[in-house]
Structure formats: structure tokens, C-alpha cells
Amino acid sequence: MVQVSERPGTAKISNLQDKFVYEIGVMYDAENRFLEAQQMMCQCCQHSQLKSLMENHIRETEQQIRNLEQVFNALGQQPRRINCDAASGLISDGQRFMLLAADNPKILELGLAAGQAKVEQLEISCYRGLIKGAEQMGQNQVVQLLQQNLQQEEQTAQKIEQCMPQLLQEAKSSSGTGSSKSR
């Protein structure tokens, strides 16, 4: 079990405002990690449609980080990252996959898209929760900033979903459905 003392700088949460600020800090960390991960994944992607989707979402993620900084501002807080283990976990899963699939670019791209889809789903559920919290606190400016982020995540998730059949088809033609070798 994680002890609070293992997370220096993490204050106790005793009311809804604390909870909200904590969750914004976690989201701020997640977006920063995802930005870095997307920049790396984009370099490994040769697929033009997926690559342009990623490049576009990198720019959006930069804007989302600025929006989160404005959220901190609106709450009278300094932007502060609180380690998001879910984001680190998704990123290290993705990195392991990239290493294992490095020999087949089409399989790699399919995996990159699937990884990105998981990230978007995580972000969507976090932003939906945060928007509810901001609404409860009557923080209209915060609601608007978070809604902008949510909309971009939803659109990206949808675009990835639309890309998937083609990526799957290309991966299938490049490798067949051959069964894996036993070791």
C-alpha cells in the first residue's frame, strides 16, 4: 500500500476542493508524461494518417497543459505535478510493446494506435470527473477549460477508432495471422 509519506509534497485531502486540486495535479502530471511519450511514439510511426493524427494531438496536448495551468491559476494555486501511476503504467506498457514489435512496422503502428486509444479513454474519464467537480464548485471558467480538453480527447479517440480497421488490415497483410513460435 502506498503511504502518503512516500509522496513528498502531497498534502492530505480533507474536502472537495482539496480533492479537486489533487486530481488536477495528477492530470497535469499525466498530460506532461503523455506529451513526452507521444513525441517519442510519433518518431517511430511511418503511417501518414496516424502520424498526422499524433502530430495534431501533440499540439493539442501542449494546449491542454496550458489549460490545466490556467485551472491552477483560477483556483489560486501554483501548477504542481502529482505522480500519475496510471499514466506511467500505460506508457511503460507501450514502450515494452514498441521494443517487442520493432521488427514489424505495421504491427508496431497498430499497437501504437491501440496504446493511444487507451490513453484517450483514461483522459476522457478523468476529464468527465473533473468537470463534474468543477461544476459542483461553481467554477465556470474551470469547467470551460476542462471541457475544451475533454472535447479534444473525445475527437482524438474517435479519429483513432476510425483509423483502426485500416491499420488492422495493413498489419494483417504484412504478417498474416501466423501463430507465434513456442519457445
Question: Where along the sequence are the contacts to Fe ion (CB under 5 A)?
Answer: 123, 153
- Least distance to Fe ion, CB of residue 157, Å: 8
Output 13 or 164, the one with its CB closest to Fe ion. 164
Are 163 and 49 in contact by the 8 Å Cβ rule? The answer is yes
- Least distance to Fe ion, CB of residue 124, Å: 8
Measured in whole angstroms, the distance separating CA 177 from the mean position of its chain's CA atoms is 30
- Least distance to Fe ion, CB of residue 182, Å: 38
User: Which has the closest alpha carbon to 23: 99, 124, 130?
Assistant: 130
- Least distance to Fe ion, CB of residue 61, Å: 6
- Least distance to Fe ion, CB of residue 135, Å: 21
Output 109 or 153, the one with its CB closest to Fe ion. 153
| C-beta neighbour count of 35 within 10 angstroms | 16
Output 62 or 85, the one with its CB closest to Fe ion. 62
Output 4 or 40, the one with its CB closest to Fe ion. 40
179: which DSSP letter? P
Measured in whole angstroms, the distance separating CA 36 from the mean position of its chain's CA atoms is 10
Output 154 or 170, the one with its CB closest to Fe ion. 154
35 phi/psi in degrees, rounded to 5: -60, -50
Q: Is 118 exposed, middle or buried (0-12, 13-18, 19+ CB in 10 A)?
A: middle
Residues 6+ apart with CB under 8 A from 19: 13, 133
